[in-house]
Amino acid sequence: MPLLKDGARFLVVASAFGSLQYLPTQLHHNFDVERTSLEAVERVMDTYVQLVEASQAEAAGWPDWMNIPSKIGQVAAMKVIARMMRREAEQRDILINAVCPGLVDTDASRPWFADMTTAQRPDQAAVDVVWLATLPAGTREPYGELVQHRQVIPWK
């Protein structure tokens, strides 16, 4: 983060699955982005990986699809960084957000989804990502949010 220039737009490309609504309630306390540290988020994710490797993640209450915990970890880390940098970001005109481009038809996504009829081409998905990356100087919102199609996705 210290490498960001004034006026920077820092984006984490994530997914709408990065919202706590997709995570069982009993795991929400692990992602208290208003109080936790970046190191604590990393420890939670390391623990999740260990549980997966030991075939115990589902028994511990984690979703069986790794995309959900991985995206929640990404968005949580972004939210913690945004919280920690808020004052400096305001002074230096920096925006920090996560962005979900939506379902995109790529070689990487096709094996995971049976129906790609609603998927966007990469150039279509890039439109809203580029919008967020090029918000004009002085823009204050969105900040510290997960954004899809120019709308904030609630964290909880």
Q: What is the pLDDT along the chain (156 residues), one digit of tens a residue?
A: 779 999 999 999 999 999 999 999 999 999 999 999 999 999 999 999 999 999 999 999 999 989 999 999 999 999 999 999 999 999 999 999 999 998 888 888 888 888 888 888 889 999 999 999 999 999 999 999 999 999 999 999
Hey, how many other C-beta atoms are within 10 angstroms of the C-beta on 147?
21
Task: Give the domains, in start order, of the chain with CATH numbers.
Answer: 9-153 (3.40.50.720)
pLDDT of residue 7: 96
- pLDDT at residue 11, rounded to an integer: 97
- Round to whole Å and give the CA distance between 125 and 110: 15
**Is there a contact between 89 and 144 (Cβ–Cβ < 8 Å)?**
no
pTM (2 decimals)?
Answer: 0.91
Which residue do the tokens 């004009």 mark?
136
